[in-house]
Homo-oligomer: A and B are copies of this chain.
Amino acid sequence: MSQPEQRTYLDLVKTCDNYPHIDISQLPYSHDDQTALYQLLLPDDSRPHGFMLPSIVQKMPWTSNFTITHDPSGPRSVRVLDSSNGADTASAINAALKEVIQAASDSKVFGNLIRSNPEDYKVLGADYDGKPVQLLRAAAGLFGICCRGAHMTVYTRTPAGEIKIWVPRRSRQLKTWPGKLDTTVAGGIRAEESPFECILHEADEEASLPEELVRKHAKSVGAVTYVAESAVGSGGELGLVVPDVLYLYDLEVGPDIAPKPQDDEVEEFYLMTVAEVKEALLRDEFKTNCASAMIDFFVRHGILTDDNEPDFLEIVTRLHRSLPVPTRPL
């Protein structure tokens, strides 16, 4: 068996943030029928909330709640109409999205919608009178909206002060990234919850960590942002524009605390030295976006520095890509 080639930290960050570094919001103006993206537009809002591939727009069973503008000379767009007459715009949008996604699922036109997780994702930067716009998590990539995850790294210190990190191995039965190493606690953020609420329930479900401990000691430490192009292995359509944000948390625990698998997502937790985590990263053993979260941990904890990493500055900027969609409501 041949050894996989040794990678660099920057390689790992680029594998996660792998959508070309172009101005995506200008792409819809491209005059190429095959590639010109459609902007996803919401009522009374000129800002694109997602970017859809022409092949997806063509196959989606649109209803009368949507206006599709195909004109390739201007910005192409999919606009959700407000059928509420101003009564409850968010609910009207959400119902329109649910209907079209259900129809697409029923007609089996997109494989990943079938028997998918019933959770919704929120459309970042979009709400109406405080009510979020949301759609089925498995359809987020089809609409090109920003996905949101929360990742918490749980670590401890040896008596000598060395950091050791709790690293789970994903179950080999999972459809996505089976057997890969993961962030200690991580999950997609449901439409109705905040990043920290996501951490609280995932810490319990995935790692059996008591809510009181997490609530008291977990620390918000920033975010990693990137834009991925969906590829084989993601379980869905290829070539989608997938903006993503991972809200990051650190939790330092004493030697008496050990995460334990509770649901069927984690096979086992390892307590790894920094050297062991480095080797596993560079051997490509981590799930792609968990590698970026761990590299950000390394930067924040003085493990990767300008003195020991020639790509330090490019890593730091690349982990925080400007997102092509709005991040706060109008």
The residues of B that contact A195 with a CB separation of less than 8 Å are: 306-307
Contact of A313 among B225, B307, B313 (CB under 8 A): B225
Closest to A247 in B: B306
Q: Are A225 and B307 interface neighbours, CB within 8 A?
A: no
Interface residues of A in 200-222 (CB under 8 A from B): 219-222
Number of copies of this protein chain within its complex: 2
Please, which residues of chain B bring their CB within 8 A of the CB of A223?
Answer: 306, 312-313, 316
Taking a contact as CB atoms under 8 Å apart, the answer to whether A194 and B306 are in contact is: yes
Residues of B contacting A301 with CB < 8 Å? 219, 221
Q: Does A300 contact B (CB under 8 A)?
A: yes
* Alpha-carbon distance A182/B219, docked complex (angstroms): 26
Contact between chains at A317 and B307 (CB < 8 Å): no
Nearest-neighbor residue (CB-CB) of A308 within chain B = B220
- Shortest Cβ distance from A215 into chain B, in angstroms? 12
Q: How far is the CA of A195 from the CA of B308 in the complex (A)?
A: 12
Docked complex Cα distance between A245 and B316 (Å): 11
Residues of B within 8 A of A327 (CB): 311-314
> Is A130 interfacial (CB-CB < 8 Å)?
no
Q: Is B328 a contact of A323 with CB atoms below 8 Å? A: no
CB distance from A93 to the nearest CB of B (A): 21
Contact across chains for B322 and A317 when beta carbons are under 8 A apart: yes
Interface residues of A in 260-309 (CB under 8 A from B): 299-302, 305-307
Expressed in whole angstroms, the Cα–Cα distance for A314 and B222 within the complex equals 11
Q: Let me know if A111 is at the binding interface, CB within 8 A.
A: no
| A225 touching B322, Cβ below 8 Å | no
**CA A223 – CA B309 in complex, angstroms?**
13
User: Would you call B319 and A320 a contact (CB within 8 A)?
Assistant: yes
Report Cα–Cα, A321/B317, bound state, in Å: 6
The 3 closest A-B pairs by CB, nearest first: A320-B320, A220-B305, A313-B327
